[in-house]
A = this chain, B = another copy of it.
Amino acid sequence: MALEIERKYLIHHDKWHNFSKPEGQLYRQGYILKDPNKTIRVRLTDTTAYLTIKGASVGATRTEFEYEIPKEEAVELLDNFAVSELSKVRYKIMYMNKLWEVDVFMGDNDGLIVAEIELLSEEESFELPEWISIEVTGDNRYYNSNLSAHPFKNW
């Protein structure tokens, strides 16, 4: 098990679009199980696939179990077992020695961009890139599991 400690932010879209960034990677992810206490997610990219079990969030912290699985099986799991699904392009950006992951959502979540930073403790300090806007850590609406069922376009 790992403990996932992460903080989540909205983005200044203009600043983000003008920012010089590396190429993003397309993520397709679906949920086999979504309930308030646990989610089971299948994530598929061009190169890898993972099955991930996450517990409930307490503050910015969440238990997480992640297993790499064959890509073909991820496709079958998504096609046959996912109750909801979303797609996004993920950008990985190093800023002041920390990794930021910026998700540009697609489809019914088009127009939503969310940045996350993963931390080693809830107290860890870090600098905010200029394209960071307000914090939304702990706002359930931004959970990917919720976005897959209640997408941004319906808010």
A residues at B contact (CB < 8 Å): 1, 32-33, 38, 40, 51, 53, 55, 63, 65, 67, 69, 72-73, 76-77, 80-81
Closest B residue to A33 by beta carbon equals: B33
Which 7 pairs from chain A and chain B are nearest by CB?
A: A33-B33, A1-B76, A67-B67, A38-B81, A65-B73, A1-B73, A67-B69
In the bound complex, residues from chain B placing their C-beta under 8 Å from that of A53 are: 32, 77, 81
Complex: A73 Cα to B77 Cα, angstroms? 22
Q: How far is it, in angstroms, between the C-alpha of A65 and the C-alpha of B32 when the chains are bound?
A: 13
Cβ of A40: which chain B residues have Cβ within 8 Å of it? 32-33, 40
Query: B residues within 8 A CB of A63?
Result: 76, 80
Say whether A81 contacts B67, CB under 8 Å: no
List of B residues within 8 angstroms of A65 by Cβ:
69, 73, 76-77
The answer for the CA separation of A32 and B51 in the assembled complex, in Å, is 14
